Amino acid sequence: MSTTRLAWFKSSYSGSSGDDCVEVAVTEQVIFVRDSKDVMRPHFSMDPAGWARFMQHVARG
C-alpha cells in the first residue's frame, strides 16, 4: 500500500517545537506510524489489535 495518499495526523503528545514528533495514519486493516521530521524514512505498521495492545502499554507508562 502506498502511504503517500494516507491521511496522516500528528500525535497530540508531540511537541510544538518540532522535536519528537510522530504521525499516524489509520485504515480499516492497518495503522501506520512514521517520524514526522523525516517522512521518507521507513514507517512501521500494525493491525488494529496490535495497535490496541501498544496503546494499552503506553497508557500504563
Q: How far is residue 2's CA from residue 25's CA, in Å, rounded to a whole number?
A: 12
Element (H, E) at 56: helix 48-60
Taking the domains of the chain in order of start, what are their residue ranges?
21-60
Q: At 4, is the pLDDT very low, low, confident or very high (cuts 50, 70, 90)?
A: low
Q: What is the pLDDT of residue 19?
A: 66
9 in helix, strand or coil? strand
Pairwise pLDDT comparison (57 vs 4), residue with the higher score:
57
pTM: 0.74
31 in helix, strand or coil? strand
45 in helix, strand or coil? strand
pLDDT tens, position by position, 11-51: 776 666 666 688 899 999 999 998 888 878 888 999 999 99
Contacts of 11 (CB under 8 A, 6+ apart): 21, 22, 23, 24
